[in-house]
Structure 1
Amino acid sequence: MIPVMIVEDEFLVRVGLKSLIDWNACGFYIAADASNGQEGLALYEKYHPYLIITDIRMSPVSGLEMMDEIRKLDSEVKFIIISAYNDFAYAQQAIRYGVELYLCKSTFKNDDLTAILPKIKASYPDTRQTETSDSELSFQNFSDVFTDASDTGSLEKYLKQHHLADCPKMVIAVRHDRHNHNSINQNLYHNIILNILKRCQIPCQLFKKDDFILCLLDASDAEKVHSIARELHKTLLNYTKQACYFGISAPFTRPALRLYRAVNEACLTCNEFIFDKSVHIRDFTGSSTSICYSCQPCGNAANNANMEIKAERLMSSVFSFRKEESEAIIREIIFSCTNYRSLEKSVFTILLSFIEYDNSSMVSALMERELKKDDLDRIASSLLEWIYALPFNTMAVSNSNEYVETVIAYIKSHLSENLSIQSLADMIHLSPNYLGKVFYQKTGSFLNNYITGCRMNKACELLRSTDLPVNTIGIMIGISNPHYFSKLFRDTIGCSPSKYRIAPPAS
């Protein structure tokens, strides 16, 4: 990977250059960034970047002055200028330093910059040595860094390495509005947050966790942390023009016991805004704009019983095809939630009541889908739509005998074919779960067991009445693997196919 340094006095332009280009995919990484030529010279001495992207007019040291000094030290380094001044005099001076590209801020596009990167990459000397910036390491997943909650030794070692061991700590969770997920660049959030925290000189580490950015930081000055969160929110909102939300954990000092809990607290409080959209920053500890959880909420047993009653009412209305009543019950359940924990529980209960009729989904995936909606109304509408799209709503119970008889007739006449439950269900336009349930109710047998029984009965008939090879008989009943056929026959009949042919057991 080839190291890059960006020198630009406009903060948001600097962040944009770092975030809006996939540097890693091009074979580069951002080793450092500076706000003027003086900082750029100091960082060059430390990181020796091969590519430097710089503005011209900066104070106290301009981009041209910085380039002059660096070129005296390094004849290989490459320069790209991105300036607001499209002036020939500046371009003339830049040419003396071997500038690869001169772009005007008002007109350049990302493609203009990325187009020249392959040429620069091809010229990179294999022998050139660089050091990686500690502050610009790859944006890591929280679960990749902290893989084992019980490994307190590694956790303490990590915190010491990053100057976070001997201080109170907090976790800030940040996320964008999930409704606009596709239009947000998470790396942009990361770089803006990182730059502001660096400027404030607070020890911190950033991580990804699902659609959250987590910031573990020194909370010795709690008021300063909240002030930084407000500044972050204002900057992100101004830059992206889209809503973003912050959750702040309670402070903690013993990371072995509290880090994972603090992450959970921050993420939960970050999600709480859906109950009050006027709030964008929440503090788990209980400020006027926060919701504070207790381990055992009052009336928990009563709430559980009430939820079960509502779920039964919902199922009754759905199975009776009373859609308006079903919608009213779902909205009653969802809008009675007072915090994110109760919302999670309510959504889970509704999904669990009907999941057996959805063969293509898992509860966990459906939970994640529903809870990523930042609006209670959208969650309620989505749940109603999912329930009424399930296949039991397209089939009357009185037709179940006809469906079972159709399946049985098809099985008996197509034993050599694929008889998976999915294929049989597709044939009569039902869900596999519903077909299996109806089949058991009408026959007393599980569908797979019934198919196996029919195949073994046919195999016995062929073994008694023909001289066909055992392998051929297996193929004729839809089991092409001879070892599996022999095992299944033995498990079902009690002896091998060859022994059965010689001496069939007495019936």
Structure 2
Amino acid sequence: MSELISVMIVDDEKMILEDLSTMIDWEAAGYQIIATAFNGKQALRKYRELHPQVIFTDIRMPFMDGIEMISEIRKTDEKVSIILLTAYEDFSYAKAAISLGITEYIIKSEITANSLSDLLLRLKNNIIKAGRRERYITDRMLEQFFLSEEMTENTDIEAILNRPEYIIMAEQDLPVSLSGENIPEEIIIHRSKFVEILTDEKADGWELEVITAIPGRKMVIALNPDEKNYSDRENKLLKTAHEFQSRLQKRTGFEFTLYIVRGKISLYEFKRFYDENKRIFLKKYLEGTGKIHILDCSQVQELEKERNTANTRNGISMEEVLKETDSQTRTRKLKEILDIAGNDGAEQFISAAQSGYIALKHAYRKVYNGKEKEFPQITTCWKNWLDAEKIILWLQEQMEVYHEYISREVKGYSRIVADAEEYIYRSFRNPDLSLNDVAAYVHLSPGYLSSEFKKETGVTLKSYLTDVRIDAAKKMMDEGKYKIYEICSAVGYNSSQYFSQAFYKKTGMFPTEYSRQGGRKNEN
């Protein structure tokens, strides 16, 4: 007896569930009802646990309606057949659901035993047809074997795991992860699309035995020649890899890196090689994406040595590079860090590049007053993070943009001096405020900021801070509501004596004298 097609029925009306479940002999039609649910939230949980092949679902339900449930399912599963159960008044919802990929919709009041049987027959034929493609994909056990950290063989798939094959591994060229930001979903090619593209046309001279996913969004394709006397197989496998790569890139618009294993190897042996040599698959970020590489799995590749992060290579951090005001010096230091990191390995290069991205992101937050949207996010710059050459150029350009911005004039002052003044006005009440704090805010070295501030304003930054504090103290005295010790603390002084000395130095009188004489009214 052939395997029954699994079904889940979802409706908040108990009578509808019972009617559908008993209207026909489901097993005779080739189906088996494995679950029912009363709302979309409950159904989503059961779907993730049981993975039915067909779902009958109502639209309007409590907690989560049918449209939202379908949307969640379609994020990960493009194959499951979904039949919408709708009433006449919900027809507009049914039309909206078509864009989500429903298989069909039916009016509840028009369901009969005959119409349901006809529908199930059509569905079954379509599922069988799709099954011709599914023969290239083993069941979930094989995929779980590759996703597992363990090397234990599964007796149910032992024959497949130990059978020598010719292997090609395909990997979509996705950007380096940027400080925890998710890769945009719209640029990711999922497994079902891989399989559809690779099986639409026969691989000339080869029989596809297995296509399965492994960690890191990679696909393993196992092939065998369709002729026993097939000669020069390595070159012909390379030709097939080029065909696969061209087909994938043409159909998706994205680039793919492929790896060919030299000679025959079992899937079990390939997993061992992959688990022990994951770092070599990062090398594409240094060598360039969209290429085809030959892997020799007969011996374990030499693992790249782990070294300290390149963020502080040769005592230079990315934050210090960003503070460098001379463009040529800044570019030289940036390339020096990333070149040395690249020589240490792909992981070290990626770590250093991520440090550059984070330093820029923090700097942008400050100069744009916290408006993070001004900084390029991965959704807009992912094409620049596919290999080392593009990454270095992008970081260099963004640093130039940043320095161009902070050098613009604001009310007669450069951006950095204007930002330093603005920060002092916001922070002068902090008694611990220092030159280093202001310099860190504008992302420059203290020495350079001091020099530029004095050059543009005519006063030192320390003197300017004192002016701001004393001016604030005068305003509080003019109000006549505060005691001297309260004013002292409010404008950033821990010591009343030091406040009095600073006040006298700036105004020629002590605070008590200034207050007693009527403040600003008698100042002149």
Q: TM-score, normalised by structure 1?
A: 0.41
